[in-house]
Structure 1
Amino acid sequence: MTAPRAPRYQITEKYGYFIFIKDVPESIILHISDHFELEIPKNLTCYDNTGSRPRYMSLIRNFLNIHAYNEETKNIIFLTMKNAAKTKDEISDIINVAVEELVKQKHELPAFSTLLRTTNSTRSIVNKEYYTVISSSIGSEDKEK
């Protein structure tokens, strides 16, 4: 019998989300079980509905020192996007700035739809602020023109 292979851990700076076991391709499950010489449990498909999933999510976050998506994350996204929208017009650029900031501050990324919605609302806020500043600096005679 050969000795089991030592696990290799590689922590990257790219955070995603926790997928459900049912969404993991069978080839990946087979590869992992083969690599660690593990038997695949018969009830693996039930895992997503157990209390183990949230417990492991918490353990993984603690191990990687990542903050779960929360109100603080929402505030970071909003403030970062609002600041970025002052100098950037492209939605993708604003989203990239927010993602970089979340990674830097070790926060989980939200769904892309959340980032897109927040980008649109922050751009609207910044544009209204610019409109107000410009409008208030123009005299009524110039406004009539």
Structure 2
Amino acid sequence: MASIERTAYPQFKRNPVVRELVTAYTPTDAELAFITDSARQPGHRLTLALLLKSFQRLGYFPAIDEVPAAVVRHLRNALRYRVQVKPADIAPNKRYRYFQRIRTYLQVRAYADGGLDVAARAIHQAAAVMDNPADLINVAIEQLVRDRIELPAFSALDRLARRIRTLVNGRYFALIDARLTVDEKQRLDDLLVVTDVRTKSLLQAIKRLPKRSSLQHFQEL
């Protein structure tokens, strides 16, 4: 599995600075009106505000308990609620309605609405010239963001990138195998042959790292 830290997949900063809180998590007047019109109770409005601003920052809906405490405090202050107001633990059907309202408000599509095809096409095209799974995941993220489609879980992108990478590489391997003559295949096989236990295979010689730059070492290589 690719390391999420090596990709552009958005994540919360556990301790966001004040500048980031103000810039990324302060709701506009229009957003405040949307939150007020979409929920009645203070706890539900706070939850909706957290989902809205988190989605704008991340491109997907996080679990409420994953939102940093600093972001919760900042949005609670923006809504002018007391410290006693906590994010409401909403039922799955209400959470789904909140997701739908936010997508409509932000004019984005759910990943289930064509996102898989978009990500797969982007990865398939990139896999022709890239091999690192993290790079392939980044290509998919960039295309999904460009097409205003919600990001799936990181594990879904990782599985998709590895599956398509295996498919594309398998086709390349088959193409190369079909072009090799019998003699060329035998020569490749011979690279692995060790005639004396005290020596290494020719493949090890090919893989050997170059020495310090000098004319003699270059001639040896």
Equivalent pair of 2:111/2:149 in contact (CA under 8 Å): yes
What are the equivalent positions in structure 2 for 1:82-97 lying under 5 Å apart? 82-97=124-139
1:58 offset after TM fit, Å? 0.4
Contact 2:108–2:150, Cα closer than 8 Å, also in 1? yes
* Structure 1 contact 80–97 (Cα < 8 Å) conserved: yes
Could you tell me whether the CA contact under 8 Å between 1:78 and 1:122 is conserved in 2?
yes
Q: 1:125 to 1:14 in 2, by over 3 A?
A: farther
Aligned to 1:124: 166
Q: Give CA-to-partner distance per residue, 1:97-129, whole Å, 9 cap, x none.
A: 111111111111111111111111111111110
Q: Is the 8 A contact 2:122 2:139 kept in 1?
A: yes
Residues matched between the structures, number: 139
Q: Is the deviation greater in 36-45 or in 65-74?
A: 36-45
TM-score by length of 1: 0.77
In the other structure, the counterpart of 2:81 is 38
- Alignment check: 8 A CA contact 1:21 1:45 kept: no
Tell me the residue number matched to 1:74: 116
SS of residue matched to 1:51: helix
The 1:14–1:24 alpha-carbon spacing in structure 2 relative to 1, beyond 3 Å, is closer
Instruction: Give the superposed CA RMSD.
Output: 3.0
Provide, for residues 15-48 of structure 1, a one-character-per-residue CA deviation record: whole Å limited to 9, x for no partner.
432123344344433332322223578684422x
What is the percentage of aligned positions where both structures have the same residue? 29
* Bigger Rg over Cα: 2
Matching of residues 1-145 of structure 1 within 5 Å: 7=29, 15-38=58-81, 44-47=87-90, 49=91, 51-70=93-112, 72-145=114-187
Q: 1:71 to 1:33 in 2, by over 3 A?
A: closer
Distance (Å, rounded) in 2 between the aligned partners of 1:119 and 1:20: 25
Mapped to 2, the partners of 1:116 and 1:142 lie a distance apart of: 36
Higher relative contact order (CA 8 A, sep 6+): 1
AA paired with 1:36? L
Whether contact under 8 Å (1:91, 1:119) holds in the other structure is yes
Runs (5+) with no aligned partner, structure 1: none
8 A contact 1:17–1:109 mirrored in 2: yes
Distance 1:141 1:96 in 2: 41
Asked if 2 retains the 8 angstrom alpha-carbon contact of 1:99 and 1:109, the reply is: yes
In 2, the alpha carbon distance for the partners of 1:32 and 1:14 equals: 14
Per the normalisation by structure 2, the TM-score is 0.53
